[in-house]
Amino acid sequence: MNYLSCETVGRVNGSLLLAEALQIGVKKLMIQTSNLKVFFMIKSLSLFSLRASVLALLLVLSGCASLSMPFEKPDVKLVSVNLLPSDGLAQSLAIKLRVTNPNSVTLPLVGMKYSLSLQGYDLVSGVTRDIAPIPGYSDTDVELSATVDWINGLRLIRSLVASPGSSVRYELDAKLDPGKLLPAFHVTERGMIDLSQAE
């Protein structure tokens, strides 16, 4: 029977220990490399998230800056007022308004609240949603049908009979609602209606 010498056994044991040490070293290196990859992945994600956040902030700031730019108030003018066929005691008026957008961008309108007085008497008031967006530097006509407050209507007739004239003083109040992006616009127009040219 052949026996291994002590020197041979020592060499074998040394080789085994070296191999085990190399395996442990490789495993540690793999773990460190893996951790390093994870670190760089996390760092890359963090940088991406930071860049995305900065980009989103810039977009928000640019949007706020555009909204904070001076936006000129639109004009509302009374074009015509005509009597409609009466239904019993209820008398209605056909009112035409002209809304002008003096800005370079389109003016979106969700709705409008209005009131009209003649000779200081509040005759009609109401709301409407039938207003299309108005392109920049243009206008649109809004036609309304409103029922006259018959008490103030009688007072107006009595005033006109007592002091007849060729014109009637009017005051138009309008509140234009452009939605959530812009504040509401309040417009007041005063003028005279020439009764001799009334249809």
The tens digit of pLDDT for each residue in 11-32 reads 444 454 445 555 555 455 455 5
| Residue 147 and residue 184 in one domain | yes
Report the domain count for the chain. Answer: 2
| Residue 101 and residue 33 in one domain | no
Over residues 136-142, the mean pLDDT reads 95
Split at pLDDT 50, 70, 90, the class of 3 is very low
The mean predicted confidence, pLDDT, of the chain is 77
pLDDT of 172: 96
Instruction: Give the count of beta carbons closer than 10 Å to the beta carbon of residue 52.
Output: 10
pLDDT of 196: 75
Q: What distance in Å separates the CA atoms of residue 82 and residue 14, rounded to the nearest whole number?
A: 113
pLDDT of 186: 96
pLDDT of 29: 47
| Residue 2, domain extent | 1-69
Over residues 145-150, the mean pLDDT reads 92
Q: Which of 20, 48, 69 is the last residue of a domain?
A: 69
Q: What distance in Å separates the CA atoms of residue 18 and residue 24, rounded to the nearest whole number?
A: 10
